[in-house]
Amino acid sequence: MCLSLHMYFFLFQAVHTYKPHFIAIHCQEVGGKNYEESMTHVDNFVKELLSSDAMKEYNKARIYLDENYKSQEHFTALGSCYFIHETLKNVQQFDFKAKKFKKVIGKEIYSDTLESTSMVEKEKFPQEYFPECKWSRKGFIRTRWALAECTFDLVNIHLFHDASNLVAWEKSPSVYSGTRQKALGYVLDRITDQRYERVPYFVFGDFNFRLDSKQVIERLCSSATMQTVRAADTNEVDKLIFREVDNDRKVVLQLEKKLFNYINQDVFRENNGTQLLEFDKELSVYKERLHELEISFPPSYPYSEDASQGKQYMNTRCPAWCDRILMSASAKDLVLKPENEDKAVIYDNIGPNVCMGDHKPVFLSFRITAGAGKPNANKHKCCVVQ
């Protein structure tokens, strides 16, 4: 997701509501789709954020923005932003080169070439992972933190999208699902290898997880007949049209490479679309390594970018829960400590009724208890935003 004005407003609102001591914001596509023109505005937004009244009590910050779009080999357009409340003392960040923690003091912004910044580990996925895209910006950024007597990794991730709805429909699971599985496996292996001590980890970003296209379309169009339209010059499938058997053969779904025009979008909004969660299967491959709290919000993508259509989906892709906050088993134990009341853990989206761009950000708010089980343990609220 890219930070928008609405995003800032609702971020400030969340800060006011939940009063977190530690805030982690992970962004993808920093600078937006037209990053060559828009990148100059990113620094101004960040500076305004750092100096805003809403954030005045956060006297420590670390901002990492991959803005070097001229470097085809390294550019990921990822942005990882961390804000620490003045009451939170002795916060440390790990130096991956020196292999030791350093105390976090003041506010610092790192941009352009993050490869030389030892406080992050950043990688762009190899081109062969997604050969359909000539210049993919997909990759990950990792940071490690020590606070409240806890150490954990925060990983900002952006996985590969579905290039064609028609290709995604061909088989179950789709070829794109396999590509994402390979890339996510690479990241998990990387952050749990022998180079550094293993610690609890949170992975949050745009996973681009999609519903199983073939199965969900078969469910949505169970009583429809399919018409195949081929391109006159290549004879390749150009579109699929699903029509009702009766009712004047009304079109239920029209599917093209970048078109998913379904007759009734309400199915993705009613009860937060949870009746379709059975087709959300990509995470199941990593059920032993990644965990997630219960989803109770609608699919996070692809929302209309029309400012007046905050709840409307675009007819480009099948709506799906692309934006997620996942964690290791040890991190989940950290979030769901017995002393954490249910109301202290919230997993939801931001700005459900207003336009936030084509992705609706999600957030997780929880408490980390310093010295859990000890007398007079201190609780610190954390909020991570994707």
pLDDT in tens, 187-231: 999 999 999 999 999 999 999 999 999 999 999 999 999 999 999
pLDDT in tens, 293-324: 999 999 999 999 998 999 999 999 999 999 99
pLDDT, average across residues 34-47 = 79
Give the count of beta carbons closer than 10 Å to the beta carbon of residue 285.
16
Domains assigned to the chain = 5-210+269-385 (3.60.10)
Tell me, what's the pLDDT at 302?
A: 98
Asked which of 64-78, 348-362, 367-381 is least confident by mean pLDDT, the reply is 367-381
pLDDT in tens, 351-367: 899 988 899 999 999 98
* pLDDT band at 339; cut points 50, 70, 90: low
pLDDT, average across residues 241-257 = 93
Two tokens at 50? 């750092």
pLDDT in tens, 155-193: 999 999 999 999 999 999 999 999 999 999 999 999 999
Two tokens at 335? 């979030």
Three-state secondary structure readout of the chain: CCCCHHHHHHHHHHHHHHCCCEEEEEECCCCCCCHHHHHHHHHHHHHHHHHCHHHCCCCEEEEEECCCCCCCCCCCCCEEEEEECCCCCCCEEEECCCCEEEECCCEEEECCCHHHCCCCEEEECCHHHCCCCCCCCCEEEEEEEEECCEEEEEEEEECCCCCCHHHHHHCCCCHHHHHHHHHHHHHHHHHCCCCCCCCCEEEEEECCCCCCHHHHHHHHCCCEEEEEEECCCCCCEEEEEEEECCHHHCEEEEEECCEEEECCHHHHCHHHHHHHHHHCCHHHHHCCCCECCCCCCCCCECECCCCCCCCCECCCCCCECCEEEEECHHHHHHHCCCCCCHHHCEEEECCCCCCCCCCCCEEEEEEEEECCCCCCCEEEEEEEEC
Residue 192 one-letter amino acid:
T
| Percentage of the chain exceeding pLDDT 90 | 70
pLDDT, average across residues 335-348 = 76
Global pTM value: 0.93
pLDDT in tens, 94-133: 999 999 999 999 999 998 779 899 999 999 998 787 766 6
pLDDT, average across residues 79-99 = 96
Tell me, what's the pLDDT at 48?
A: 86
* pLDDT band at 376; cut points 50, 70, 90: very low
> In this predicted model, which residue has the larger pLDDT, 49 or 95?
95
* Residue 175: partners with Cβ closer than 8 Å, 6 or more residues away: 167, 168
Q: Compute the distance between CA of residue 221 and CA of residue 244 in angstroms, rounded to an integer.
A: 8
Tell me, what's the pLDDT at 31?
A: 74
Residue 26 has pLDDT above 70, yes or no: yes
